[in-house]
């Protein structure tokens, strides 16, 4: 049975972007994460494919029109919505801004545990999580606050490594077992689902050359440190996906060159003082489209490797 059986709304621009991504199916963005040949494909037995999106603000799309859940800052133009529309899947989106791995199994304020959305009839799960576990937003705020002391240096890196240990790298390491536990919980709740772990897009210039200014108040020497921290986070998440039988989708590589330092129109990540309708240091509408295209490509590759 073709997976594309449930019609949902789309637009020509988004449809073209996602169709173009599918053509380059094997070019990039996918790790099979140790899955067997049988578990690597998306189920095709039923007419409706039940898709559940889990995760934090990089999945929910805060600030991007149209916001459909004020509590979770969730947009109907986030990557799960675009992916569901492209694949004609039935979407249950419980991604929520501020979510940590704890919010998957327990309540997040008034929101029920995200894992409650899963069941034995869940076919596909996407998960974007881990950034809030290492406190990335508060870390950025700390770094921005230190910039005035040494705008040409690296006060943020100095602060987080002052005791001889890279505390951000340690937080990434400490989050690894939480990701593993989350994936195990997903598997228990949705034993038949294909689980896709989506990494974080490129936030900072990949070459380490920054753009210190009013919109991005980070010291010139700290861009490389923050870039490396994000890469460590993504590498850890990829490792945990591989170790726990899930797919990892790399959204960093296809978004290089569209970081927060690029001019409006060319950037897919908003600076710390956002100009487009999106949260600071988060994907804007174009960034969510790019993430959707990358995940859709990975899904198509997986479905073709049966």
Q: What is the pLDDT of residues 85-101, one digit of tens each?
A: 999 999 999 999 999 99
DSSP-assigned letter for residue 177: H
Overall average pLDDT of the 111-136 stretch: 98
pLDDT attached to residue 1? 31
Overall average pLDDT of the 199-211 stretch: 98
pLDDT attached to residue 47? 83
pLDDT attached to residue 219? 98
Residue 284: burial class (beta carbons within 10 Å; 0-12, 13-18, 19+)? buried
pLDDT attached to residue 25? 53
Identify the CA nearest to 259 among candidates 277, 286, 298: 286
The residue annotated as part of the active site, out of 31, 57, 60, 97, is 57
Q: Is pLDDT at 221 greater than 70 in this prediction?
A: yes
Which has more confidence, 284 or 14?
Answer: 284
* 214 catalytically annotated: no
Which has more confidence, 247 or 19?
Answer: 247
pLDDT attached to residue 220? 98
Name the β-bridge partners of 91: 51
Overall average pLDDT of the 138-155 stretch: 97
Contact 23/65 with Cβ under 8 angstroms? no
pLDDT in tens, 3-14: 333 333 343 344
* 57 catalytically annotated: yes
The residue annotated as part of the active site, out of 60, 137, 154, 282, is 282
Q: Is pLDDT at 36 greater than 80 in this prediction?
A: no
Percent of the chain with pLDDT over 70: 84
Cα gap 280→212, rounded to integer Å: 15
Contact 268/290 with Cβ under 8 angstroms? yes
Identify the CA nearest to 146 among candidates 138, 156, 136: 156
Q: Is pLDDT at 143 greater than 70 in this prediction?
A: yes
Q: Is pLDDT at 30 greater than 90 in this prediction?
A: no
Identify the CA nearest to 99 among candidates 59, 139, 69: 59
What are the phi and psi torsion angles at 52 (to 5°)?
-120, 130
pLDDT in tens, 163-193: 999 999 999 999 999 999 999 999 999 999 9
- Confidence class of residue 46 from pLDDT cuts 50, 70 and 90? low
């Amino acid at each position: 049975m073709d997976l594309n059986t449930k019609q949902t709304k789309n637009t020509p621009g988004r449809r073209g972007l996602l169709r173009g991504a599918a053509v380059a199916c094997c070019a990039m963005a996918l790790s099979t994460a140790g899955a067997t040949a049988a578990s690597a494909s998306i189920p095709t037995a039923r007419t409706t494919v039940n898709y559940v999106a889990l995760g934090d603000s990089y999945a929910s799309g805060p600030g991007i029109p149209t916001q459909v859940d004020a509590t979770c800052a969730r947009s109907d133009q986030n990557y799960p919505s675009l992916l569901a529309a492209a694949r004609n899947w039935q979407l249950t989106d419980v991604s929520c801004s501020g979510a940590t791995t704890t919010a998957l199994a327990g309540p997040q304020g008034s929101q029920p545990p995200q894992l409650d959305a899963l069941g034995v009839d869940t076919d596909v799960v996407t998960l974007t999580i881990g950034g809030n576990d290492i406190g990335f937003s508060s870390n950025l705020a700390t770094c921005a606050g230190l910039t005035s002391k040494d705008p040409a240096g690296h006060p943020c890196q100095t602060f987080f490594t002052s005791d001889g240990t890279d505390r951000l790298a340690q937080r990434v390491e400490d989050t690894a077992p939480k990701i593993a536990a989350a994936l195990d919980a997903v598997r228990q709740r949705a034993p038949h689902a294909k689980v896709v772990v989506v990494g974080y897009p490129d936030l900072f210039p990949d070459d380490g050359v920054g753009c210190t200014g009013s919109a991005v108040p980070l010291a010139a020497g700290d861009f490389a440190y923050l870039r490396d921290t994000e890469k460590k986070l993504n590498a850890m998440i990829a490792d945990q996906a591989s170790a726990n039988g899930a797919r990892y989708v790399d959204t960093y590589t296809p978004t290089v060159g569209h970081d927060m330092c690029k001019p409006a129109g060319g950037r897919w990540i908003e600076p710390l003082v956002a100009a487009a309708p999106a949260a600071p240091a988060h994907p804007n509408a174009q960034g969510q489209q790019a993430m959707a295209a990358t995940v859709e490509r990975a899904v198509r590759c997986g479905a073709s490797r049966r």
